[in-house]
Structures are given as structure tokens and as C-alpha cells.
Amino acid sequence: MTRALVVDDEPQIVRALSVNLRARGYDVLVARDGRSALSAAARHPPDIVVLDLGLPDIEGTEVIHGLRGWTTAPIIVLTGRTEQVQKIAALDAGADDYVTKPFGIEELFARMRAVLRRVSPRQTPTVRLGAWVIDLATHRVRPATGSGDDVRLTRTEWSVLEVLVRNPGRLITKRQLLREVWGPGYDSETNYLRLYLTQLRRKLEPNPSRPVHLLTETGMGYRFMPPDEPGHPDGGLPS
């Protein structure tokens, strides 16, 4: 059963969407503000999200950023805002489509069907890295044992780590990582990457001089290797 998360603070819209989605065979979760939406998504990862931009606590674009930290589930924005710049901001944040209020229910469901045909399977919001659990939904790195203090990461350290763990086993080129974390214009600043990978290894790897999770592919880029990944090495190449 496809799980849909509906995020809107207008009761009549929530009620109408819930009734119509359930009638079409969806499992429906409801949240009436952004923080509740992020919490609900972490507990019960959705297959698709229908999200209002104008929420009472945080902006809808912040919810999109939070979800995109760990899931590829499609996000369709519902908005009463007509300014093009706001729609573009939502799409740039990671939304897949948008529908302007007032909207036709059949058009919304057609757009939902279209984006669902293009997505990969549901992802988990947590990733194991040695003795640590990376919680992509809450931006925490906590002990896998459940006791002890979280690892404190800077915003940039988190951004670098997030890009890598969202792509387990995949080589992320230096240019791609620089552009995703620092933006256009930083394609050649490879010293940034060496610095932040060194800091992350010191905080997360059991032996920072011989990393087994945050690996360097010489001359190319970096790779996150989770413990259960086939071909997991005994040691990596330090930068």
C-alpha cells in the first residue's frame, strides 16, 4: 500500500485529501505543521508527500530540505502563492511538482501518479557508520549503543557527510561534492574537501589514519562504504 503524508494546516483540505486518498487505496498520514511532518516522516517513511508551503511553524521549503536529507520520496507542493520565485524556490529545494490552490482533486492525483512512476524505493532515515548512527531526519550523529553523547558536527561537516551517506557505495566526485556543499564557483577548492574529510574521520572513524567508511578514491573523489556493503575493505586511503 502506498503511504502518503499530507501536510497542511487547513482542516477542510486535510479532510478532503484524506478521504479521497483512502478511497483510492492509499495509507494516509496527516501533519498540520512542519515539525510534526518531519517527525511523522521519520517514524513512518512515506512514499509520497503532499505539502502546503504556508505552514504555521516553519516554511514548507524547510520541510522539503529536511526530507531531502534522507529520502527520495516525491514531494508535491500545494500552494496558494502565485509568485514564480516561490515556486522555483520549492522546486530548487527538492520538490518534484506543484499544484496551485484552489486545485482540482483529479489533477492532483494525476500528478501524484506521474511522480510515483519515476521514484526509487523508500529509504531509511538512519544510516550506520561504525559505532555511530547517522539520523538524516534530525541531523544527529548518535551512539549506536543508545547511550552517550552525540557527535557534534559543524554545519559544513554535516553537509559533506550527508552527501556521502545518501549515496552508499557510490563514488562522489570532488567537483560534485564541492558544488553540492559550497555551490558553483568552488569546483577547484579541493583543499576544502581534504580538511573536512580529515575532521569527519577524526570524529567518526575508529582509526582515522586507516578509514574504512569515509574513503578516498585517489584523484577522483570520495565514497561512503557502509559496513554491510559488498566488498567493504579493511582500510581506505587517507587524503
> Percent of the chain having pLDDT more than 90?
51
* Angle formed by the axes of helices 174-181 and 155-165, nearest 10°: 130
More confident residue, 93 or 150: 150
User: pLDDT, tens digit, for every residue of 23-32?
Assistant: 999 999 999 9
User: pLDDT, tens digit, for every residue of 39-77?
Assistant: 999 999 999 999 999 899 999 999 999 998 888 899 999
Give the pLDDT confidence score for residue 230 in this predicted structure. Answer: 44
Distance CA 106, CA 104 (A): 6
**Contact assessment for residue 2 and residue 46, using Cβ atoms and an 8 Å cutoff:** no
Give the pLDDT confidence score for residue 124 in this predicted structure. Answer: 63
* Angle formed by the axes of helices 11-23 and 105-116, nearest 10°: 60
More confident residue, 231 or 103: 103
**Contact assessment for residue 89 and residue 188, using Cβ atoms and an 8 Å cutoff:** no
pLDDT(142) > 90: yes
User: pLDDT, tens digit, for every residue of 112-131?
Assistant: 988 887 765 555 678 899 89
Give the pLDDT confidence score for residue 236 in this predicted structure. Answer: 38
Give the pLDDT confidence score for residue 17 in this predicted structure. Answer: 95
Q: How confident is the model at residue 88 (pLDDT cuts 50, 70, 90)?
A: confident
Cα 182 from chain centre: 17
Give the pLDDT confidence score for residue 237 in this predicted structure. Answer: 39
Q: Go through the domains of the chain in sequence order and give each one's CATH number.
A: 3-116 (3.40.50.2300), 126-224 (1.10.10.10)
Give the pLDDT confidence score for residue 69 in this predicted structure. Answer: 82
